[in-house]
Structures are given as C-alpha cells and as structure tokens.
Chain A
Amino acid sequence: MSSKRAEAMSKMQASIDGYSFNISQEDLNRLADEDVQLDEAASMQSNKDLVEAERLKQAELKTEADIERLKAAKQKASSDAVKAEYDEEMKRIQLAKQQKQQEEKELSASKLAGHAIEQTRTAYQRVQDVTGEAWDSLGRVSTPGSIFLPIAVLLILFLLLLPVNGHTRIEWLWLALVGDAHLSGEVDNSGGVQEQTQPPQNQTFSFNTPGSGFTGVQV
C-alpha cells in the first residue's frame, strides 16, 4: 500500500512539474521505507503518551492504597506513639500526593498553552496557505494582449475625448497640421492681442465640444 501511494504521489508531482519520469524500484523502496518510519514514529509517540498516562494512574492508585493501609494499621495499633507515627506517615503521603497533583495541574496548564500555541500556529499557516493559493490563482487569470493593450486604448481615448482649451488633443493636432491652430492671448503682427480661440473658417468638425450639448461645430 505504501509503495503504491508513493508511486501515485510521485506521478502527481511529475504532472504538476510538467514533465514525466520513471521511478526506479530503488526510489520506490526508499519512499516506502520513509513512510513506514514516519508511521512508526507517530505510533511510538502515541504509545509513549499512553504509557505515561498509565504510569500516573498507577502511582495515584498506589498512593491511595498506602493511605488505606496506614489507616487500617493505625486502627489496629494499640500504642499512641505508633498511632502518631502512622498519622505522620499519612500526612507525609497526603502532602506528597497534593504536591504531585499541583505539579500535574501546572504541567497540564503548560501543555494546554503549548497545544493552544500549536493550534494557533497551524491556523495561521492554513490562512497563509489559503491566501497564497488565492493570490497565485489570481496570477493565473489570463490577460490577453498583455497590460499594454488597455493602457494604449486609454491613451487613445484621452486624446479623443478630453478637451484642452476648447478642443481635444486630436483636434488640436489637426488644427496644427493644417495651420489653423490659435491660442488665446496670441500677439499678431500688428501688435494687438487676438481674440479668444475660434474654430478656423470653413472648417467643419463633427465632434461634440464637451459640455456644449450639441452635435457638431460649424463655422
């Protein structure tokens, strides 16, 4: 089962990497051995925990048995000194039991804290993985024409649609090419200042002047 699993995993990895290769029997055996070792290590750890829990339970039972034994012996004892000794022994055992319980509580609290930290770390790792996957999948979305296509379209629309000083840039270009571009405040040959920019004579534009609300400007 392990070797089949290893083979399947490696085939999947090969397809992800985009190439195919043949796994040798030696590699398969090595992967199978690694799987077995991992499984053994996991089972050993869980066995250790079980053994530890069992040992603690046995220690507690032994303590209780000792206390019961001392109580029975105290009842049977006739001399006060012996009874006092048994009392001392019981107190000592109970004190040791309380100390052990205290230590167990502290240990379990630290275990809980460690467990909580581990869970937080795992959750954080999972969030990171999911976010990374989402980011990577966003990168895999196709962008036909690359990023320059929409930017070029934007630039063309800026030239065609957005007016500057009453005309769009394309209009100004045309006016400049035919020699009829005039800016306001331009000084003519006689020294006077020319009027505000007017469309040149005998020129017909079929564009809207933005904000004018009518189609076409004709002079």
Chain B
Amino acid sequence: MNSSGSVVGWLTAWLLMFMLLFILARTRAGHTIIYYLAWLMVALLIVSHGKQVASILSGGNFTNG
C-alpha cells in the first residue's frame, strides 16, 4: 500500500512537472526559462559527479587487451 502510494505520488510529481514544462514551452519567455534551467541541471550534474568527470577528462578510455 505504502509503495503503491509512493509510486502514485512519484508519477503525479513527474506529470505535474512535465505539464508545467509544456505550458512554459508554449511561450517565448518560457523557452528562456527552460533553457537556463537545463544548463543549471548540467552544472549540478557535473558538480555532483566531479570525480567521474575528472577521470573521464584526464584519461578516460576503453582498452581491450
């Protein structure tokens, strides 16, 4: 019961977020907001996974053999 409730809540939250994004995307100012929010997400992702990013940039390669 608890898990189904949390899944419903999770789905509802995501749906609401997408609805908001859809409404924003219909306006010119909304485009700007979404654009800079997306860059903010990129920055947050890079900051939170700093070590992985550093290792990829410093010597990340696939070798076989």
- Interface of A with B (CB < 8 Å)? 135-136, 138-141, 143, 146-147, 150-151, 153-154, 157-158, 160-162, 174, 178, 202-208, 210, 215-216
Look across to chain B and name the residue whose beta carbon is closest to the beta carbon of A142: B32
What are the residues of chain B within 8 A of A146 when measuring CB–CB?
A: 35
A151 CA to B52 CA, complexed, in Å: 20
**Number of cross-chain contacts by CB at 8 Å:** 70
Smallest CB separation, A4 vs chain B (Å): 36
A147 B49 Cβ-Cβ under 8 A: no
The tally of residues in B whose CB lies under 8 Å from a CB in A reads 29
Smallest CB separation, A82 vs chain B (Å): 83
A157 CA to B38 CA, complexed, in Å: 12
A143 CA to B42 CA, complexed, in Å: 15
A139 B63 Cβ-Cβ under 8 A: no
A99 CA to B62 CA, complexed, in Å: 99
Smallest CB separation, B45 vs chain A (Å): 5
What are the residues of chain A within 8 A of B55 when measuring CB–CB?
A: 206-208, 215-216
16 contacts between A and B (CB under 8 A): A135-B27, A136-B28, A136-B29, A143-B31, A143-B36, A146-B35, A150-B39, A202-B64, A202-B65, A203-B63, A206-B61, A207-B52, A207-B60, A208-B51, A210-B49, A210-B52
